[in-house]
Amino acid sequence: MGLLDGRTALVTGGSRGLGRAICLALAREGAKVAFNYARSDPEAGALVETLRQMGAEAWCFKVSVLDKPGLQGMVRDIEARAGTIDILVNNAGVGQVVPLALMEEEDWDRMMNINVKGAFLCSQAVLRGMIQQKRGRILNISSLAGVKMMQAPVHYSAAKAALKGFTEALAKEIGRYGITVNCLAPGVLDDGVSGNLPPAKKDDYLRHCALGRVGSFEEVAEMAAFLVSDRNSYMNGATVVLDGAV
């Protein structure tokens, strides 16, 4: 028996990186897995094939997290195939290393749109079904940069901090329907956005990390799978920091 047997999950930004690892972890725990992606058709197709080879029902959708009609159509399609969406993981996000003095307004808007507005639109798209079934799990993927004072791009830190506030407010609003909303804030990982970290900053992180190493996509994905499972039934509005103790 897996943690997520009989559940259907939607992971945003699922075709590669952390999103891909989360899709794989959820499938290993027995979930049907759907994910959206923006650009990489070969990677998305390969992941669907991998998930199906694992024995999971799996679907992918090429739709932006900022395309409200497209998201609504995706949700209807998933519900028609699977019946309900029980789990939403708001993982889609972008990073950019640029100082505030050189930041363009478009840089700020893109960061806020994809990381924050995308989570709002995707959550809104699945909530009607979750409220009707009076059950659901929403997990927002934030970052250590959004919960601790650290040297990180201002617009990235602001966007990830916004997800923490979004989590807490939404948890209060929809808890009465049996839906939990939590937030997962990883520290520096061995790939993805953390790959843009200058060597000196990475070394400084490692000096302060009690475990003396960076984390992996797989470690974050395993925590995500637990957080959206029924074994985690009373946590709500919480932000879990996964950073090896910095």
pLDDT tens for each residue of 37-88 = 999 899 999 999 999 999 999 999 999 999 999 999 999 999 999 999 999 9
Question: In whole angstroms, what is the distance from residue 118 CA to residue 135 CA?
Answer: 22
Is residue 89 a contact partner of residue 21, using CB atoms and an 8 Å limit? Answer: no
Active site residues: 156
The closest alpha carbon to 120, from 147, 149, 90, belongs to 90
The closest alpha carbon to 162, from 137, 178, 185, belongs to 185
Q: Can you tell me whether residue 152 is helix, strand or coil?
A: coil
Is the pLDDT reported for residue 235 higher than 90? Answer: yes
pLDDT, tens digit (0-9, with 9 covering 90-100), for 112-150: 999 999 999 999 999 999 999 999 999 999 999 999 988
Residue 148 DSSP label: S
Strand partners, 35: 11, 60
Q: What is the pLDDT of residue 192?
A: 75
Task: Tell which wins on pLDDT, 194 or 112.
Answer: 112
pLDDT, tens digit (0-9, with 9 covering 90-100), for 149-168: 888 999 999 999 999 999 99
Q: Average pLDDT of the chain?
A: 96
The closest alpha carbon to 38, from 7, 74, 6, belongs to 74
- The structural domains of the chain, ordered by start, are 8-242 (3.40.50.720)
Question: In whole angstroms, what is the distance from residue 212 CA to residue 214 CA?
Answer: 7
Beta strands in 12-135 (DSSP E): 32-37, 58-62, 87-90
Give the helix/strand (H/E) hosting 136: strand 136-141
